Structure 1
Amino acid sequence: MAKRALLCFSLLLLAEELVTFRFEVELIKQLSLKDKSPNCLVSPFQVAQSLSFLYLGKDGRKDYTLAKALQIVGRGHDKIMSYFRETQQKALAQNFVIANRVFFKSDFKIPSYMKSISENISVEVENISFDNATKAGAEIKKWFSKVVAKSSKLFGKDHLNNITQMVAVQGLSVTTTWKYRFISQSKRTFLIERPEMKPLQQKVAMMYTLAKFESFNNEEVHGIFIPFSNTDIGLLILIPKQHITTLNVIQQLEKYLLLKMRKAQETHFFLPMFNIQESMDLNGILETMGIKKIFSSLNNPSSLNNNPTNESKTTHFEQLSIFSVKPNRLLLESEYASEGDQKTFEVNRPFVFVIKDQRTIYMAGRVDSIDDLNKRP
């Protein structure tokens, strides 16, 4: 009886984790289908944070479509806000640099209730004039550069205009602080298979350590979890096996997130040093996920009610994500020599990565090109 109860409890935990990840996983999937660049990066946590703020900040009837997309149907306001407070605190404890602000047009009176939600869910709100799109974009970029990083790619040519009514801007910068320090580095081969072409090989700088890591290995993917130092957040790396692509892995990500890890085992581990920075317009992706009436349901402008096709022109979601993989200290050049019966895990071909804990995906992306691997942060 006790074993049966324990099994039921374990299944409930897995189900809760899957529900928590569902919106984030779907966002990653949709991005991977639309983003054709070789390497990509997104922060699902921040998108969910902004959208949840807009959901909770609405007066009157809530947007069921938005709640359904976020997988928060039936969840109370207090529970939602508590989740984001805890998640934000954990991210800051891990030294993540976070910016999340919603800019409303200057004549939109931000209600006190929305301001209260803003403080509880850690999404800032501010009024700004969009009459001069260039000036508005410059003001937003100035604020953003002070908090996270400068980015010339933050806004495209047509992202802002004089009919814009709301802009949501998110930024997350993660520089790794590992639980287990990497002790040496060396140049090692990174291999990229190419259909009907000779494989591409290039030497890249890799960090090396010997420590106990949880991992799994099945017929499709080899995975390993590398813990960060200050919290239970860590980096999950998924390396596809032969005939499986990184896109295949991302499209089945929920399956790999729920695979049971083997008990931590002493492992010779090699990880490339790299830096990825990506800015993206999220409007199209959110619309694909069924989220189409964000601002109109907040302020109910007559222009949108009469012409719903203007919706995407009056709202804009923009995100910049930065992920730097580097050691905690200066490494020495050395040659690796295997000792004893320890296993070896080398990230030496295209891979998918997920920065996560048990409830949240803070960042996720893929590396299909070695170009960024050679750009030391």
Structure 2
Amino acid sequence: MASSLYLVVLVVGLCAPIYCASLPSTPNRGTICPSPTKATPSSQVSSSNTDFAFRLFRRLVLKTPGQNVVFSPVSISSALAMLSLGARSATKAQLLQGLGLALAGTPESAVHGAFQQLVHSLSAPRGDLDLKVGSALFIRKELRLLAEFLDSVQRLYASRVFPADLSSPSAARKRVSAYVEKVTKGKVVDLVRHLDPLTAMVLVNHIFFKAKWEKPFDPAETNKSSSFLVDKSVTVQVPMMHQMEQLAFGLDSELNCSVLQMDYSGNALAFFILPGHGKMRQLEEALSARTLRKWSCSLQKRWVEVFIPKFSISASYDLEAILPEMGIQDAFDNNADFSGITKAQFLKVSKATRKAVLEVGELGSEAAAATETKLELRAKEGPAHTVIRFHEPFVLLIVDKVTQNILFVGKVANPTKS
């Protein structure tokens, strides 16, 4: 009988204080503009990760119509790429092709080398930005891993390895859940609700994100009850934050949407994308690495008066029901070949679970007090400005400037649903 791999792709995004960026009145030059230099494995992997992010996003919105969507594509890509180290034959090919990592002319070793650079960069100190990524393997004590696989996951993906008594599902679940709770600072509790007695290995991948914008919203400017149009028949009341600053902004006439870029301290940025009324599906279908590069290079910095709801959303998905639709099939059935992990047992992935939490709110009172006067002056004395209200469903992307990878993708369909 087959033993199982339990893949826990765990994502926690906490963007608690939200700020506005103060930018000069010059054309935007985003850090994810196309580079004139020759493509490198790292840039190719970044582009592949972005396209995978949007392909998965489209699957998730179709599976959960009208619901909030939030996940970390870089976390999922990293976990599956790490799993491919132990895959062989068609199982490996499907993992790499499904992730868009079967790059012409690029050796597989270079792809994993690019992920090694990615993990290292995301783990580096970022000052005001609290970004923590990591992975861990919990392995049945009697399971003998191949030395090459063990060395690769530790060297390339900085994964921690723990022996565990997985033959006792209850005890193992508690141990894994305790680890998850610790690395997510208590944001995710009791994620692993069931472990099969045949489970041979549990792979946990997590990302924690907490960041500040360069200029804070003033809580005194927040409208405590503002209308948000969920759909044609449902309107909810939400706290609506308000800010006026010089920000990178543009209208994409091709996709019929407005795009606002706001920068974090610590080399990260966010795109808030508001489709024209009734044009969300058009936007969802068009998102790609090319679209993201176009926005990064073409947005213009101008005075913008922005209204953004204060919200906290979360979502959980069973990826074993979605990834096969994206070409990653054998890993989850009896055709699985993970003989690069161990020769002693037949393994397949029995479960691939992920959860994400994303919170957007104001800064605490100390920082708000420091900006109160400036906000008042600019609101009254500033030149003619653009007004954008995120008062109906919108898309949110959080991007790492250094690695040019998407940390989070979110669709805020109803900001009152946590």
TM-score normalized by the length of structure 1: 0.80
Corresponding pairs, count: 352
| Other-structure match for 2:36 | 9
SS of alignment partner, residue 131 of structure 1: coil
CA deviation string 1:300-357 (max 9, x = no partner):
56655xxxxxx453xx222232222123432479997684212222222211111113
| Other-structure match for 1:54 | 83
| Other-structure match for 1:282 | 319
RMSD between aligned residues: 3.4
| Other-structure match for 1:323 | 358
- Conserved? CA contact 2:127–2:266, under 8 Å: no
Q: Map 1:214-363 onto structure 2 (within 5 A).
A: 214-218=249-253, 220-231=256-267, 233-245=268-280, 247-254=281-288, 256-260=291-295, 261-294=298-331, 296-297=337-338, 298-299=341-342, 311-313=348-350, 316-330=351-365, 331=368, 339-357=382-400, 359-363=404-408
- Gaps of at least 5 residues in structure 2 are 1-33
Question: How far is 1:366 from its partner?
Answer: 0.8
Seen in structure 2, the aligned counterparts of structure 1 residues 118 and 303 have a Cα distance that, compared at 3 Å, is closer
Question: How far is 1:202 from its partner?
Answer: 1.8
SS of alignment partner, residue 71 of structure 1: coil
**Is 1:38 paired with 2:72?**
no
| Other-structure match for 1:308 | none
Seen in structure 2, the aligned counterparts of structure 1 residues 71 and 342 have a Cα distance that, compared at 3 Å, is same
- Conserved? CA contact 2:73–2:406, under 8 Å: yes
In the aligned structure 2, how far is the partner of 1:101 from the partner of 1:91? 22
**Is 1:146 paired with 2:182?**
yes
| Other-structure match for 1:124 | 160
TM-score normalized by the length of structure 2: 0.73
Seen in structure 2, the aligned counterparts of structure 1 residues 288 and 59 have a Cα distance that, compared at 3 Å, is closer
- Conserved? CA contact 1:174–1:322, under 8 Å: no
In the aligned structure 2, how far is the partner of 1:55 from the partner of 1:22? 19
In the aligned structure 1, how far is the partner of 2:147 from the partner of 2:274? 48
CA deviation string 1:111-151 (max 9, x = no partner):
44333323332333333232222221111111111110253
In the aligned structure 2, how far is the partner of 1:8 from the partner of 1:371? 40
- Conserved? CA contact 2:273–2:394, under 8 Å: yes
| Other-structure match for 2:57 | 28
Seen in structure 2, the aligned counterparts of structure 1 residues 79 and 303 have a Cα distance that, compared at 3 Å, is closer
Bigger relative CO (Cα 8 Å, ≥ 6 apart): 2
Question: How far is 1:192 from its partner?
Answer: 1.1
Seen in structure 2, the aligned counterparts of structure 1 residues 27 and 193 have a Cα distance that, compared at 3 Å, is closer
| Other-structure match for 1:94 | 129
Whichever residue aligns with residue 253 of structure 1, its letter is: L
Question: Percent same amino acid among aligned pairs?
Answer: 17
| Other-structure match for 2:23 | none
